[in-house]
Structure 1
Amino acid sequence: MSAGSDFLQLRAAAAPPKGLTTWLVDAIRGAVADGRLAPGARLPATRDLAVDLGVSRGVVVEAYQRLVDEGLAQARTGAGTVITGMLTASTPPAARSGEPVAASTPAGFRLPLGPAEGIEFDLSPGQPDLAAFPRAAWLRAERAVLTSMTSADLGYGDPRGVLALRRELAVWLARTRGTRAEPDDILVVAGVAQALALTARVLGARNIAMEDPGSRGARDQLTSWGLRTHPVPVDEHGLRVEDLVATGLDTVLLTPAHQFPTGVVLGPARRRELLAWGGLVLEDDYDAEHRYDRAPVAALQASAPDRVVYMGSTSKTLAPGMRLGWMIPPGALRDDLIAVKHSTDLGNPALSQLVLAHLLRSGEYERHLRRVRQRQRRRRDALLTALEQHLPDARVEGVAAGLHLVITLPSDIPDTVLAASAAEVGVRVQPLSWHRTLPGRPGLVIGYAAHPPNRLDEAARRMGARLGMVVRTGITR
């Protein structure tokens, strides 16, 4: 074995015999934390560092991939692996993923959460993998757009959105979601949250049906706009349409492709019943892009474009901070929605719309989705394996798609108590009851998109030890 590497004065002889990868990751993390490796610093080529340390190249490749997964590094074409993040030396490694924030739900509305003190693993649902944002592709597209765009493109434009993006969305959504729309039918919005807000303003104060359990964030948002929500139960086949009919209401909000939070898909028979019901459907196409073990499910909009307000966004595929989304309303609502959109903000920023149009047209957006899907499947699989090992009595549901799953435990202990117990060991999850208004079984909603596999395993280990004890003894303190 060689004496070691000039890079950080590393010596593999100092590493534990079965922990080379973790040792190398920790050494680089420490160098980032104390400033020895600043953002932009290039890591040695994997082959070179492996030779210097006298280890297999696979050890270095895996270590670099962990750093990329954690958002501390990025693999750049022609530049190797480069440090992109910055840590503070006083922050323990487990807490270095950023300041915890309130969890978001399908509509993007933020749930009120308590202080983040002591939380090292925020597994709230709705948080995508922000480290996977395609920075290089976005930068290339932005440069291409700035080179070709005209001065007129920077003026006050169509409140529906930039025509170039609406054209690309019409093609993309038809091909991937089965929607039926022309560019003039589409409105570009600042995410599903704005789509819901605009729709609420057009509909005015009225009663509206919602899935139960369903997105608490969407429910709170609709209530803030003067609508009164009425719960309709969800089972293993999705929204119970017979219960919807029994309400006598004429409008419903649902997530048919991947129900939040249960993860079920609206079954074929239920889809037919819903379309026969004849009311207005607000379709939040939540998490439709992230599927692993099942075939894609077409949007409802294609079957009833005159009665469905279709809504989607890039919040779970690119980043929620992009504030890019779209809606396809029925013709009867379109003009009113355009007028409200114009009076609200005069339209969304043009540059980001043109960049997204370029990514769609070039195929780069689809390539990004494929990469993210593979990455999220690995994370989901890691969490499933960890839960099976550390919480073997848990029943796991909603795993075939999306960025979160639901677990239930063989206990009548309230899920708010279980979530609080998990928080005591540094793991934040959401109680299923947060998203209910009707009585129902307790459960925990767990997001996995924002953490690499090794951190998910540690979070599950902590939860397993704590919740296992709570379920066995009933003691929560």
Structure 2
Amino acid sequence: MADLHIRINRDGGGIAGQIAAELRESIRGGRLTPGTRLPATRDLATDLQVSRGVVVEAYEQLVAEGFLVSRVGVGTQVTPKAAARPVTRASPRPEPARPGAPVCAPYYGHRPTSPDLSHFPRERWLAAVRHVLTTVPSEALDYGDPGGVPELREELAGYLRRVRAADVRPENLVIVGGVAQGLSLVLHVLSRKGPLQLAVEDPTSHRQAPLLRRAGAHLVPVPVDEEGLDVRRLSGDAVLVTPAHQYPTGVVLSPPRRAALMEWAYAGDRTILEDDYDAEFRFDRDPVGCLQGLAPDRVILSGSVSKAMAPGLRLGWLAAPPDLAEAVRRARGELDLGSPVIEQYALAHFLRTGGYDKHLRRMRREYRRRRDALVRALAEELPEIRVKGIEAGLHVYLELPDGWDELKTTRAAQELGLSTEPVGPMRDSPGPAAVVVGFARLPAHKAFEAVRGLKVRMSGQKVD
């Protein structure tokens, strides 16, 4: 086992994050080579004079990121693939943002919407892949239908009817590489008729707008309030909406707004693009059905396994009216000939055998526990912060007290290991200062420590 040189700022908070950052930098810089065995968590905790739980948390984070691998009887080692990672000297903390620029999470893939990848069902997924590799015929690995393998579309159609009250058949489904690609394909098809005016929620994710514009849409922001998208202010040829749990505000599209949205679509022969974002994780009650089930000839439903399992799987779907589904399927064939088939067969098996449902139930309980812990810590330590939105999803929307600055709050939270983004860059119209905080990777027992750290840091950073 290697002795480790790890520097800790004990006054800076986020000890587990500091340990993870030091180890990550050592691996990237080549100081810890592939196969190097790290000290046992108890030994390293003793060396650093911290609790064992802090070291366990740091190791688990690096295992989830792929820097470390842990095996029973072998211990924790630097993964053999670590050597292929680019050698960088970047600081583990975010660089200061340009004035007005969005402050992103410290690491490329970690966002407030990211799930806890340490809970990815590795054994069950491995069993599903093994089943596929030992049962599917060799011909199944050839170029296939760019719309997706029939087995997966069959299983998904049943799942969406059962869980999301969708009105969908296998032939109306197209398998895509996530919601982002699905939306790009749909907009590409819709814009063939001419310039497309696409209404979007305001605020909305600042990562989404460039994708939508590149796909050929002219964006028309529409305000979001406590009932969701303000349908009275809609204009354009189509609308992109997240009715189950809006990002970033966390609100749900109310029943009257749903009815009004249907009327708007039918009155002008318009299209509704429904991003079924966070529909799997409703904690306070059963989730409402999707819009597509109410108007399958007007609504295109998009979804993925990115939040339920892992974004890196790049598996998603579109449910569209028959003519549009066929057009999207052809466009997919022109783009890249379809998604990887082994993963599609594996997901079909995972759905068919109940593994997907079981995983969702487990994660729903865990995420609810983590959200409750964070909200409780905020109520006790920082009651001046207002938690908005429903009890759902992987993030909370926090309206900041008077005098708090979004960017300063975001940086302080990120330095404590909280996945945080400012809401200002997501707005087209002015609104109250707010941030989004992801809780999926914040263990419940760490919530109070993180919030107390934020309280201390922000006590001297208020602005007049």
Please indicate the TM-score interval, normalised by the length of the shorter structure. Answer: 0.7 to 0.9
Counterpart contact for 1:396–1:407, Cα < 8 Å: yes
Distance apart, 1:272 and its partner CA? 0.7
Pairs within 5 Å for 1:405-416: 405-411=396-402, 413-416=404-407
After superposition, give the CA deviation of every residue in 1:297-333 in whole Å (9 maximum; x if it has no partner). Answer: 1000000000001000011111111100000112231
From 433, 437, 443, the counterpart of 1:446: 437
- In the alignment, residue 406 of structure 2 is paired with which amino acid? D
The reply to whether residue 264 of structure 1 matches residue 251 of structure 2 is yes
Q: 2:190 maps to what in 1?
A: 203
Distance apart, 1:380 and its partner CA? 1.1
- In the alignment, residue 274 of structure 2 is paired with which amino acid? E
Counterpart contact for 1:72–1:84, Cα < 8 Å: no
Structure 1 residues 324 and 39, CA, compared in 2 at 3 Å: closer, same or farther?
Answer: farther
Counterpart contact for 2:421–2:435, Cα < 8 Å: yes
Q: 2:48 maps to what in 1?
A: none
Q: 1:320 maps to what in 2?
A: 311
Distance apart, 1:454 and its partner CA? 4.0
Structure 1 residues 214 and 136, CA, compared in 2 at 3 Å: closer, same or farther?
Answer: same
Structure 1 residues 272 and 316, CA, compared in 2 at 3 Å: closer, same or farther?
Answer: same
C-alpha distance in 2 between matches for 1:337 and 1:39: 48
- Helix, strand or coil at the partner of 2:460: helix
Counterpart contact for 1:68–1:131, Cα < 8 Å: no
The reply to whether residue 240 of structure 1 matches residue 230 of structure 2 is yes
Pairs within 5 Å for 1:182-331: 182-204=169-191, 205-244=195-234, 247=235, 249-277=236-264, 278=266, 279-331=270-322
Q: 1:142 maps to what in 2?
A: 129
Distance apart, 1:71 and its partner CA? 6.4
C-alpha distance in 2 between matches for 1:349 and 1:158: 11
C-alpha distance in 2 between matches for 1:427 and 1:451: 7
Counterpart contact for 2:251–2:390, Cα < 8 Å: no
Counterpart contact for 1:70–1:452, Cα < 8 Å: no
TM-score (norm 2): 0.78
Length, aligned pairs only: 413
Counterpart contact for 1:259–1:286, Cα < 8 Å: yes
- Helix, strand or coil at the partner of 2:318: strand
Structure 1 residues 424 and 69, CA, compared in 2 at 3 Å: closer, same or farther?
Answer: closer
The reply to whether residue 363 of structure 1 matches residue 354 of structure 2 is yes
C-alpha distance in 2 between matches for 1:375 and 1:65: 18
- Helix, strand or coil at the partner of 1:469: coil
- In the alignment, residue 316 of structure 1 is paired with which amino acid? K
Q: 1:179 maps to what in 2?
A: 166
Structure 1 residues 421 and 304, CA, compared in 2 at 3 Å: closer, same or farther?
Answer: same
C-alpha distance in 1 between matches for 2:275 and 2:443: 28
Counterpart contact for 1:124–1:445, Cα < 8 Å: no
Counterpart contact for 1:123–1:429, Cα < 8 Å: no
Counterpart contact for 1:70–1:451, Cα < 8 Å: no
C-alpha distance in 2 between matches for 1:185 and 1:255: 21
- Helix, strand or coil at the partner of 2:189: helix
C-alpha distance in 2 between matches for 1:390 and 1:162: 51
Distance apart, 1:81 and its partner CA? 11
Distance apart, 1:456 and its partner CA? 3.8
- In the alignment, residue 350 of structure 1 is paired with which amino acid? V
Counterpart contact for 1:425–1:463, Cα < 8 Å: yes
Pairs within 5 Å for 1:428-447: 429-447=420-438
Q: State percent identity of aligned pairs.
A: 41
After superposition, give the CA deviation of every residue in 1:266-297 in whole Å (9 maximum; x if it has no partner). Answer: 11111111111122100000011112112211
Q: Which runs of 5+ in 1 are unaligned?
A: 1-6, 9-21, 45-58, 88-97, 103-111
Q: Which runs of 5+ in 2 are unaligned?
A: 3-14, 42-50, 65-70, 81-90, 96-100
Distance apart, 1:126 and its partner CA? 1.5
- In the alignment, residue 456 of structure 2 is paired with which amino acid? A
Counterpart contact for 2:248–2:397, Cα < 8 Å: yes
Q: 1:107 maps to what in 2?
A: none
C-alpha distance in 1 between matches for 2:39 and 2:157: 41
Distance apart, 1:400 and its partner CA? 0.5
After superposition, give the CA deviation of every residue in 1:238-261 in whole Å (9 maximum; x if it has no partner). Answer: 1111111xx3x2310010001111
Q: 1:15 maps to what in 2?
A: none
Structure 1 residues 331 and 99, CA, compared in 2 at 3 Å: closer, same or farther?
Answer: farther
Structure 1 residues 331 and 82, CA, compared in 2 at 3 Å: closer, same or farther?
Answer: farther
TM-score (norm 1): 0.76
C-alpha distance in 1 between matches for 2:441 and 2:78: 15
C-alpha distance in 1 between matches for 2:300 and 2:447: 36
Counterpart contact for 1:427–1:463, Cα < 8 Å: no
- In the alignment, residue 404 of structure 1 is paired with which amino acid? H
Counterpart contact for 1:257–1:297, Cα < 8 Å: yes
